[in-house]
Structure 1
């Protein structure tokens, strides 16, 4: 990933992988045609394309090796691939293919023919030094030219507009040059799969990394930070400074930036418990916590200016979902069954993300069940984050860190979306929100009196 952040190297790898990917797709299509019994499609036009693709493949391999020789590459993965390309370019397989392509193209360059088109019929014969009429035409009209004129000639694409006509003409030409076209047939049958499978696999897989850099480029332009985290497999200090939720950042468009937040877990701290008023960014915070760990496990740069993250074995999540009416289970039972499954499989190297659990039961039962859940997570010893309305979980013990979503000091109805390290205050600011929308008891009573 670090190597691919170099613009020159990324452009070279991107062009190479895209070309190989396209050629591989074309090769698959043509191979099916060339081994079929469909005479309409299996013709010299298709075989000529196979030669063109093989020629393009040889050129792109050579260009890639020459270009990569001029680049500084630090990653072992890319270094090994460059070494593989060097060895492949010098291999007997590639040299044989390149020689066959060059020889066949040289043979085909000797093919010259004439066409006589008359009354809807085409006749083909070898070229026998007939005069080139186009030369006479240019000389004739040159005398009328007065200075520079506008160019009206249109460049035709390589892809034919009337394939059946071209294929029929080539079939007639082949009768005039049987040896050359026999060599073309042999070449195609010998090289139905000329693309090296390792190179084809690289061209597919490297697109993931290139796509990631393309995805985050506009976010970086908006000033959002990304970093390569330190990865740990033990109970070390975990943190990320100024991280954010990628889905939210993408949805805000180019004009706005998401609020960034921090988290820190100093041993023996292992569990973040996030409380605070609704619509304050708690769920987004938990989602981002899982995102950065997953992205880091893939070797990608993650949101944040500095981070140290767990190299986990599994991520287990419990987010609220709609009740399944097809079963007889209630929401609480569903929560408990899902949680039991998570706690049964999680290890000390797992990551657990829990969002608003036990919201369907009474507060006393939710506290009781929540404490049992915390006991189990602490016993497992894995890092976790729990978004909850149960303030008591935030002060469970030395393993927990209380985080709170905050509101504007001057206007409690305004959410700052900042999640800070502080004890829970038990405030939902419901009265302030009701007042903002004129829904307090006093406001409703006054409106009703006006109607009476």
Structure 2
């Protein structure tokens, strides 16, 4: 069986149901994905954001679709299709909830009618606009072929014929006390227009409207259902045709159409989210992607989850980084609360978002396509494992070093901070040398400044402070040698001797 076309996967392959990656929590990507997909729970988009690509051409395939959908004319066509499909699902949902069979069947007919209109409108809309991406071109071609094929013609013809049959049904309801009589309405005289004409001369301009409009819940009450049953006995052919129609077309939804309706939401959701952030001045870009070169950089990059939380109420500081040649590891030091962890999360987010084929939160970027992303963040002690915090950290870093390859991305944040400076230096040096031998791209946030100068593979990044006020952080990380103050600052803060703490005490 031929695969249906996909706007996410060039070969039309399907994605299973991957578990949320272990690093999502550390990198706050779960928060970011929740914000991106808010209001679109029906599409179950989380699994697409949990399944990174591993080939550069597949990433470029998604870039093409993103670029097409960033153009208003193309996006409006797709959004109109998505809205029609949403209305179709609403009718199907009503049909599933309703108790009375004939009403269920009518809602099903309405759903199919909306579906036919949605697909036809999609074809007409895509005919009008210029499509450049391979993904949307494949959908356009498939929809054109689908509409020209006999099964769709039969579906459309059956739908129109049945709607006409039902529209011709007319009946009279005569209510006398508790008795309701339903009979055919055979073109009997309708005196309503004559009455209106007779009393038209008494109209005196605009007057108060005394009409009472009753609410119409989607499900009939038992009396309405009995009236409908009576009408069905008067017109058995039309209602038998309705039942046959529902059975014959119960699988009307083409797999490729349903797949496109869902997959395209990956793009629409992400683009809607970044439009809100871009309106505040933050920039996104399509990064250069390589699965072989470890030369990477990003300019004016930022933490997507943090931006979602802060913007537009608070300003966001962007950062740069670059690794080239033999450089593999960014060793980040500096004062606490200076943006080091945010920088580490940003680095990991960029790697994952690039592997999803999404525009990344940066003005410009060249990024590596990793086989996996690993994170090593501080954890609370787990009484179940009967291990102390340091033991747990060592076990986790052992597992990472065992599973990581030269094509992996590692994010280590404040690793081994629970031990002494001497032990942290000893363990950190050993771990970092193993990572350097491995050749994996890494960010290592630490208070041990010595780790920033282990060789040509390491690059030192230092959190900045305002020169005239060391207690005030700039949240900008600078590429320069570690200044040896990170651990001293950590100790001072631990014992209440940090600059800002002492200043508050003196000011009392």
TM-score (norm 1): 0.91
Structure 2 match to 1:421: 479
Kept after mapping to 2: 8 A contact 1:413/1:436 = no
Distance of 1:75 and 1:143 partners within structure 2? 64
Q: Quote how far apart the aligned CAs of 1:107 are.
A: 1.6
Q: Quote how far apart the aligned CAs of 1:318 are.
A: 0.6
Structure 2 match to 1:20: 85
Structure 2 match to 1:78: 136
The alpha-carbon distance between structure 1 residues 155 and 263, as it changes in their structure 2 partners (threshold 3 A), is farther
Q: Quote how far apart the aligned CAs of 1:363 are.
A: 1.2
Structure 2 match to 1:259: 317
The alpha-carbon distance between structure 1 residues 68 and 146, as it changes in their structure 2 partners (threshold 3 A), is same
Q: Quote how far apart the aligned CAs of 1:226 are.
A: 0.5
Q: Quote how far apart the aligned CAs of 1:29 are.
A: 6.4
Q: Quote how far apart the aligned CAs of 1:105 are.
A: 1.3
Distance of 1:151 and 1:240 partners within structure 2? 66
The alpha-carbon distance between structure 1 residues 154 and 309, as it changes in their structure 2 partners (threshold 3 A), is farther
The alpha-carbon distance between structure 1 residues 301 and 93, as it changes in their structure 2 partners (threshold 3 A), is same
Kept after mapping to 1: 8 A contact 2:91/2:110 = no
The alpha-carbon distance between structure 1 residues 165 and 196, as it changes in their structure 2 partners (threshold 3 A), is farther
Q: Quote how far apart the aligned CAs of 1:19 are.
A: 2.7
Q: Quote how far apart the aligned CAs of 1:154 are.
A: 7.5
Structure 2 match to 1:433: 500
Moved more, 95-104 or 16-25: 16-25
Distance of 1:319 and 1:137 partners within structure 2? 81
Distance of 2:129 and 2:177 partners within structure 1? 60
**For 2:325, what is the secondary structure of its paired residue?**
coil
Q: Tell me how many residue pairs correspond in the alignment.
A: 434
Structure 1 match to 2:36: none
List per-residue Cα deviations over 1:367-397 (Å, max 9, x = no partner): 1111111111111111110000010111111
**For 1:386, what is the secondary structure of its paired residue?**
strand
> Please, what is the CA RMSD of the aligned residues?
2.1
Higher RCO (C-alpha under 8 Å, 6+ residues apart): 2
Does residue 193 of structure 2 align to residue 132 of structure 1?
A: no
**For 1:64, what is the secondary structure of its paired residue?**
helix
Q: Quote how far apart the aligned CAs of 1:175 are.
A: 0.9
Task: Write out aligned runs for 1:156-305 (5 A).
Answer: 160=218, 162-305=220-363
The alpha-carbon distance between structure 1 residues 313 and 22, as it changes in their structure 2 partners (threshold 3 A), is farther
Kept after mapping to 2: 8 A contact 1:27/1:193 = no
Distance of 2:359 and 2:458 partners within structure 1? 28
**Aligned to 1:10, which of 75, 94, 99?**
75
Task: Write out aligned runs for 1:334-349 (5 A).
Answer: 334-349=392-407
Kept after mapping to 1: 8 A contact 2:298/2:362 = yes
Distance of 1:165 and 1:12 partners within structure 2? 43
Kept after mapping to 1: 8 A contact 2:294/2:328 = no
The alpha-carbon distance between structure 1 residues 61 and 381, as it changes in their structure 2 partners (threshold 3 A), is same
Distance of 2:221 and 2:125 partners within structure 1? 37
Distance of 2:412 and 2:268 partners within structure 1? 32
Structure 2 match to 1:306: 364
Does residue 462 of structure 2 align to residue 395 of structure 1?
A: no
List per-residue Cα deviations over 1:11-43 (Å, max 9, x = no partner): 22122124324524643664x67xxxxxx8242
Moved more, 79-88 or 131-140: 131-140
The alpha-carbon distance between structure 1 residues 203 and 163, as it changes in their structure 2 partners (threshold 3 A), is farther
Q: Quote how far apart the aligned CAs of 1:140 are.
A: 3.5
Moved more, 279-288 or 360-369: 360-369
Structure 2 match to 1:123: 181
Kept after mapping to 2: 8 A contact 1:230/1:307 = yes
The alpha-carbon distance between structure 1 residues 110 and 162, as it changes in their structure 2 partners (threshold 3 A), is closer
Kept after mapping to 1: 8 A contact 2:285/2:360 = yes
Kept after mapping to 1: 8 A contact 2:92/2:107 = no
Kept after mapping to 2: 8 A contact 1:24/1:200 = no
The alpha-carbon distance between structure 1 residues 195 and 25, as it changes in their structure 2 partners (threshold 3 A), is farther
**For 2:459, what is the secondary structure of its paired residue?**
strand
Q: Quote how far apart the aligned CAs of 1:151 are.
A: 6.5
List per-residue Cα deviations over 1:226-254 (Å, max 9, x = no partner): 10101111234201100011121122142
Distance of 1:313 and 1:21 partners within structure 2? 36
Q: Quote how far apart the aligned CAs of 1:121 are.
A: 2.8
